[in-house]
Amino acid sequence: MPRNLAKFVLKFKLFMAMSRLDLVKLRKNAGLSQKELADMLSVRPSFLSAIENGRSRLPEEKLDRLKDIFQVDDFSDYMVEDKAETVPVVPPHTHIAEGDDALTALLKHIHAQAHMTDDLSKSREAELEERISYLTERNDRLSDRLDDLREQVDRLREENFHLKELLTLNGVKY
């Protein structure tokens, strides 16, 4: 099996195991707030919250950063079963009501599952919109900072030019 394919299969198996890193436990053991850890990982606190609650996956490139932050080589003590495995087969609000047959109960269950999927995609969409908004604001701030730095460079060049003029007028070689 090619090396990249083997790596992919391993990642897929880990993903399918539906276990995740308990960042809350790890973070609290280190005495860090959610915002502090989010800053250290260069992610938004809301994204870190989604990761901690199992609504989003931790990007793989952040794992090495986590190992550095917490000085841990093995996260096995901090792995937990994903909440998705504990979802009951029939949600409480779809139990068979009096007079409902099995087919009606099944249809209610399918309907509830469809709404859960819609809610998840809406939450993912909202998360992406929030990320785009954050990146747009960040880009604007960086553009403003770049403009300020360019103005400073222009002022320094102008000062340098005047200093060279003064040196030349006074016969000083530089």
Closest CA to 127 of 61, 63, 49: 49
Question: What pLDDT shows up at residue 86?
Answer: 39
The yes-or-no verdict on residue 7 having pLDDT over 80 is no
Which amino acid appears at position 101 of this protein?
D
DSSP E strand stretches across the chain:
19-21, 79-81
Question: What pLDDT shows up at residue 3?
Answer: 60
Q: What is the mean pLDDT of the chain?
A: 78
Question: What pLDDT shows up at residue 87?
Answer: 40
Question: What pLDDT shows up at residue 6?
Answer: 58
How far, CA to CA in Å, does 85 sit from each of 34, 82, 125, 146, 171? 25, 6, 23, 48, 83
| Strand, helix or coil for residue 141 | helix
Angle between helices 61-70 and 34-41 (to 10 degrees): 120
Q: What is the pLDDT of residues 81-108, one digit of tens each?
A: 654 443 434 444 445 555 567 777 778 8
Query: Tokens 């917490």 sit at which residue?
Result: 70
User: Hey, what CATH topology would domain 1-86 get?
Assistant: 434 Repressor (Amino-terminal Domain) (1.10.260)
Comparing 110 with 19, the larger pLDDT belongs to 110
Which amino acid appears at position 22 of this protein?
D
Comparing 129 with 60, the larger pLDDT belongs to 129
Q: What is the pLDDT of residues 147-169, one digit of tens each?
A: 999 999 999 999 999 999 999 99
Q: What is the pLDDT of residues 27-52, one digit of tens each?
A: 888 899 999 999 998 889 888 888 88
The yes-or-no verdict on residue 56 having pLDDT over 90 is no
Buried b (16+ CB within 10 A) or exposed e, 75-91: beebeeeeeeeeeeeee
